[in-house]
Chain A
Amino acid sequence: MELKIVIGGEAGQGIQTISSIMSRFFLRSGYYVFTEQSYQSRIRGGHNFTQVRVSTESISSSDDGIDILVALNEETINLHREEVSSNGIIIYDSELIKSVDNDKRFFGAPLQRIAIEKAKTRLAVNSSACGVLVGLLDGDFSILETLMREQFKDPEIGERNVLSARAGYEIGKTKNDFPFRTPFLSNNSRLLIDGGSAVGFGAIVAGCRFLSAYPMTPGTAVMNYLAGHSKRYNIVVEQAEDEISAINMVLGASFAGVRSMVTTSGGGFALMVEGLSLAGMTETPCVIHIGQRPGPATGLPTRTEQGELLFVINAGHGEFPRYVTAPRDAQDAFYKTIKAFNLADKYQIPSIILTDQFLIDSMVTIEGLDLDNIKIERYIENNPSKDYKRHLITDSGISPRALPGTEGILVITDSDEHDEEGHITEDLEIRKRLVEKRLKKGELIKEDIEEPIYFGVSNPDVILVGWGSTYGAIKESVKRLIEEDFKVGLLHFSDVYPLPYRQLEKYRDKRLISVEGNATGQFALLVRRETGIDIGEKILKYNGRPFTPSEIVKEVKKIW
């Protein structure tokens, strides 16, 4: 069973509330859900919509097509009507939207009147709409009732919304010939998580206790998440005056011993780049989360893209090692965030988590998160010797890291080239040795890099190559192509720098097609630079919207 619901309207009409409640409703009813938000950069007005995709099988992308369209305004009908399947339904407010024709897919309900009558507020249109949906789908109303009560802290408001939802539910039930049904299936321990919360939760579990950031969509989600949990878990979240300050504050906090991070988007990261180089030079661990959105410059603030890969890998003046990971989904984002903190401490380097608006804002159902086997490794020297030198040259290139304030020693570092002690130097022999020491660590990082996932037939004719948040969509497209007897596979990267190359070497003589959310095929360029492998063919998308499995299937068939 699969069902696609789209809820559309102006910003401020409650689209997010409806989609969030319905996503939880399906999760608790035993279904897998993927919820993707498409919104404009404004607080009120504009056209915004959310797709709630429901399935009895695990899914991790949205897809084309609509079975239920919930139209909170007329524009939504005009813009999405063509996508609604012939046996689908268009739910609209029968008292507010008058211009419907005799298309039998229309199903009107007085959503706003119910809200005002039952809940005494127009805002409760969310609950009446959810009620109609649950009634229509023959769902378990008690699950919705519980969700409504949880949603509102004030029990009286909760109660009114339950009444509003019930009235909607009764109307929804009258449509008893609707072909889709989502009855209660099973209790389960699955989780519904969005990418922003996954990075945020991962950071908290990793021991991040300081975050500084300047608000920038979509990176702000992580700042909000940590701030929301700051008192419970002793986290300091400081909104900086600019991104330059944010990264420098984080380096100060990290130098003094706290696991620290910044969160931003491409433009904000551009301002942080000098600080990134400072982290490299002073060997101060830090974690940088970048939620990509389309550029250049301000670009499309609320849309998605994979356009910062080469920027992030090459950012910073001078030569120094770094770790870059591009999580493939929310679950991966949780674990990779923890890994980013561990590798930053292990190698005393900047770690970069590269997500995007699609991953940050989408909610996905996962089986769970394994908190029992998380390892937190700080690599801090608590009892340094009296002749401690912060930048001591060692065989591995990693110097013992002590913290300032440790009795009897001094911790010294410098953005200028420095000697082992950390003092400024112009001794060119020391310069050469310190460069080599820093770069040695880059070789070691390769041992901690995860090879890509391969999914597909054992002897493929074509391999799609992807990275980051496109995993769900490409994987599903490969599944469908295999069902149609295409001999195809997917090589999908999460850790991207240093580039894991073993799997690539194995498939170097295959026909490779790069699938990327940018206009220039940046990952293909990286692969050529690092391995000499030329990925000649590309499927690229750069209109600000994420890939869907259907469109990838179509594109692959076109060039097969």
Chain B
Amino acid sequence: MVDARIYDNDQVPAWCPGCGNFSILRCMKQALAELDISPDRLLMVSGIGQAAKAPHYFRCNLFNGLHGRDISVAVGAKIANHNLIVIAESGDGNTYGEGGNHFIHNIRRNVNIKVFVHNNQIYGLTKGQASPTSDLGMKTRVQVDGVLSPPFNPVAVAIALNASFVARSFSGDPEHLVAMMKSAITHKGFALLDILQPCVTFNRVNTFQWYKERVYRLDDNYDPTDRISAFKKALEWGDRIPIGIIYLNNRPTYEEQLPQLKDGPLFKVPITGIDYSDILKEFK
């Protein structure tokens, strides 16, 4: 294990004091350190939102792209260089709203990337509108009569799509969060980690206390490979909210199935000195 301080940089986070993001950032450094991942081997990709700023605040390669499109960039980068550890980190609005289509289809694609979603059930950067995961009835400046659409359930959707790894954790349980991050990173295949996180400024419903009273760790006897019980756990929300590895399904990754990537990363494939005479024959 390396010292977690090797990930420190001189950037100053632009988050509110007491934001759950600080805990997630600390856990991230801890998990990387425990896995002995050198910053230059790690590529973080993020979208837009308060969560998506997180990778600026520690040492890593970084592509901070557009709102909702980080998973696509991460997939492209992983296909180009599968030796990189690629993690997409953003919030619930970014990943489940704007990026919904990429979320769905990349679960199917199963490229070996990790998707860490800071899920605070609210839009922070744009100052307090409902997010896809906001609870029914939550009143905001825009949803003046309360949220009318039932919340998006990322865990259930991921299980429905036969995701290879689906976990949930809570920023208020750092020990658990570090363990989940490590499991996601070491898993071979697309890994979704939904991280419950209070927004201290805009979300007056789902507060730290609210989560604290509801969140419980899955017990050791829980079998994440059983899809039906995983569904049951995914639907549990309200009085009790389970955290842990909810679904595990070891299926072949996208990269493993491509003969083009067998001999090494794509970016190292020689592109000069190639004989193209067989192509020229096609034009005769």
Contacts and interface: CB of A to CB of B under 8 A. Distances in A.
B201 interface: no
Contact of A251 (B76, B102, B267): B76
Contacts of B40: 404-410
Contact of B279 (A229, A230, A242, A257): A229
B53 interface: yes
A413 B76 CA distance: 16
Contact of B60 (A212, A232, A410): A410
Contacts of A205: 274, 276
A369 B66 CA distance: 40
A244 B106 CA distance: 13
Interface residues of A, number: 66
Given A248-B69, A249-B76, A251-B65, A403 B271 contact: no
B79 A376 contact: no
A191 B276 CA distance: 14
Of B11, B43, B61, B269, most A-chain CB atoms within 10 Å = B61
A28 B284 CA distance: 7
B146 interface: no
Contact of B76 (A241, A252, A282, A403): A252
A238 interface: yes
B76 A412 contact: no
Contacts of B25: none
B21 to A, nearest CB: 14
A163 to B, nearest CB: 25
Interface string B194-226: 000000000000000000000000000000000
Counting chain A CB atoms within 10 Å of each CB, the highest count among B43, B65, B78 belongs to B65
A518 B45 CA distance: 41
Kindly name the residue among B11, B59, B80 whose own CB sees the greatest number of chain A CB atoms within 10 A.
B80
Contacts of A207: 271-272
B266 interface: yes
A403 B282 CA distance: 36
Interface stretch (A416-424, A477-485, A498-506): A416-424
A193 B284 CA distance: 9
B39 interface: yes
Nearest to A422: B62
B266 A405 contact: no
Nearest to B113: A252
A252 B284 contact: no
Nearest to B81: A256
Nearest to B14: A424
A191 B45 CA distance: 45
Interface in B60-89: 60-66, 69, 72-81, 83-84
Interface in A241-265: 241-242, 244-245, 248-260
Contact of B260 (A204, A231, A371): A231
B72 A405 contact: no
B258 interface: yes
Interface in A52-98: none
A420 to B, nearest CB: 14
A553 interface: no
A212 B81 contact: no
Among B43, B53, B64, B280, the one with the most A-chain Cβ atoms within 10 Å of its Cβ is B64
Q: Which of A238, A405, A412 has the most CB of B within 10 A?
A: A405
B80 A413 contact: no
A249 B63 contact: no
Contacts of A539: none
A17 to B, nearest CB: 16
A257 B77 CA distance: 8
B77 A209 contact: no
Contacts of B81: 256-258, 403-405
- Measured as residues with beta carbon below 8 angstroms from the partner, the interface class of chain B is 35 or more
Contacts of B284: 24, 27-28, 191-192
Nearest to B65: A415
B77 A253 contact: yes
A236 B261 contact: yes
A178 interface: no
B81 to A, nearest CB: 4
A300 B17 CA distance: 56
B84 A405 contact: yes
- Report which residue of B60, B78, B276 has the largest number of chain A beta carbons within 10 angstroms of its beta carbon: B276
Contacts of A238: 79
B59 A413 contact: no
A240 B104 CA distance: 12
B80 A245 contact: no
Interface in B227-284: 258-261, 263, 266-267, 269, 271-272, 274, 276, 278-280, 282-284
Interface in A203-244: 204-207, 209-210, 212, 229-236, 238, 240-242, 244
A399 to B, nearest CB: 15
B46 to A, nearest CB: 9
Contacts of A242: 101
Interface string B38-63: 01110101001000010010011111
B126 to A, nearest CB: 15
A493 to B, nearest CB: 26
A330 B266 CA distance: 28
Contacts of A408: 40
B5 interface: no
Contacts of B127: none
Interface in A379-430: 403-416, 422-424
A523 interface: no
A169 interface: no
30 contacts: A191-B280, A191-B283, A197-B283, A204-B279, A209-B267, A210-B80, A231-B259, A241-B102, A244-B69, A248-B102, A249-B73, A252-B63, A252-B72, A253-B77, A255-B73, A256-B76, A256-B77, A256-B80, A257-B81, A258-B80, A260-B80, A274-B69, A404-B40, A405-B40, A405-B83, A410-B39, A411-B62, A416-B64, A422-B62, A423-B56
Interface of A: 24, 27-28, 191-193, 197, 201, 204-207, 209-210, 212, 229-236, 238, 240-242, 244-245, 248-260, 274-275, 278, 282, 369, 371, 376, 403-416, 422-424
5 residue pairs, one from A and one from B, having the closest CB atoms: A252-B76, A207-B271, A257-B267, A248-B72, A256-B80
Given A404-B63, A404-B81, 13 more contacts: A204-B279, A209-B267, A210-B79, A231-B260, A234-B266, A251-B73, A253-B266, A254-B80, A257-B81, A258-B80, A258-B267, A260-B80, A410-B61
